[in-house]
Amino acid sequence: MERKFIKDFQENTNISGFFIVFAKDLRKTKSDKNYLDLTLMDKTGSINAKIWDNVEDFTAKFEKGEAVAVKAQVTSFNEELQLRIESIRRANVEQDSVYGFALADLLPSSTKDPEKMWSEVQQAIQSLQNRFLKAVVQNIYTENEEKIKTHPASMILHHAFRHGLLEHTHSMLRIAEGVCQNYAELDRDLVITGILLHDIGKLIELEPGLTTDYTDSGNFVGHVVLGRDILLQAIAKISDFPEVLKLKLEHIILSHQGKLEWQSPKEPAFLEALIVYFIDEIDTRFDQMKREIESDRSTGDWTNKMNYFHRVLYKGE
């Protein structure tokens, strides 16, 4: 019985594997018999699963949000695949890693190599000429290295996966190079620093884990203002940090959503702030459109309109 990921499941085969329990509901059949209705997830997708027998035993063995080891048969219902579970139990690293259990396999994750992205981001930091900007970024990136490497960039909208924040930042830095070369008026150091720090408040706003959620700080205050806090704490450790430079960095973070109605308390008031906003916008919308096109299940060459853009998108070649 082969170890497979969800995207490779085929009808009428038996599988074993590890998954995260995304949803778990106890229901009754028409004939009043209990069963468990689950949604299981690994990094390649999600699938509905049912437990028809021994429901009372099994339901005690795991909770929603946990990682589980599963044996099941792949069936189908309404033309979608479904698992009929034969056994299920909580998984854990000590016991199950010999069977191939690794949390990284369960969580959707960037398709790019995080260490390579991290290394290129470090080069961008090294390239900064302004010693104040370089110091403030180094402080923040050194102190938060582990978090920055693994954090998602959002809950749902874009780069909503492990390493998502790093992938988003890394992608923006690559776009920024061409933009800064094109416009002689731009202070490249300020643009690069702005990109590196614009979403840093996400480290506080979002609580990653097996499933991502907003923290209380995230809901009460929001990543835009929280990111400025991280900036100001780092600046406070650097002597003689120029006042206007500090204000400009604060403003870039506060205005990076670009529009007041997107929770930015200020809109871009100078060229570098405008550019950080636009590069963020490009990378965000690009990721959203790519995913909407990939995930649409309509027949034919066009998606339906039920997506972020509220319009049909072209899926053909």
Q: Is 94 in the site for a second copy (CB under 8 A)?
A: no
What sign does the CA torsion over 277, 279, 282, 288 have? negative
Scan residues 24-43 and list those touching a second copy (CB under 8 A): 25-30, 32
Site for a second copy in 162-191 (CB under 8 A): 171, 174-179, 181-183, 185
Interaction between residue 210 and a second copy (CB under 8 A): no
Binding mask 41-80 for a second copy (x = CB under 8 A): ----------------------------------xxxxx-
Nearer to a second copy, 69 or 198 (CB): 198
Rule CB under 8 A: is residue 297 a binding residue for a second copy?
Answer: no
Do the Cβ atoms of 288 and 158 come closer than 8 Å? yes
Q: Which is nearer to a second copy, 151 or 170 (CB)?
A: 170
Residue closer to a second copy by CB (options 22, 214) is 214
Q: Which of 44, 285, 296, 308 binds a second copy (CB under 8 A)?
A: 285
**In terms of CB distance, is 45 or 258 closer to a second copy?**
258
Choose among 260, 310, 252, 261: nearest CA to 279: 252
Structure tokens at 308: 């972020």
193 binds a second copy (CB under 8 A): no
How many residues sit in the footprint of a second copy (CB under 8 A)?
A: 73
**Residue closer to a second copy (CB basis): 76 or 95:** 76
Count CB neighbours of 138 within 10 A. 15
C-alpha distances in Å from residue 300, one per residue of 309, 312, 314? 19, 11, 9
Nearest approach, Cβ of residue 214 and a second copy (Å): 7
Q: Is residue 286 near a second copy by the rule CB under 8 A?
A: yes
Region 218-277 residues binding a second copy, contact defined as CB under 8 A = 219-222, 224-225, 228, 243-244, 247-248, 250-251, 254, 260-271, 274-275
Q: Tell whether residue 311 is a contact of a second copy (CB under 8 A).
A: yes
Q: Rule CB under 8 A: which of 109-138 touch a second copy?
A: none
What the block records as the tokens of 41 is: 């997830």
Residue 22 binds a second copy, judged by CB under 8 A: no
**To the nearest whole angstrom, how small is the minimum distance from the Cβ of residue 189 to a second copy?**
14
* Least spacing, CB of residue 138 vs a second copy, in Å: 23
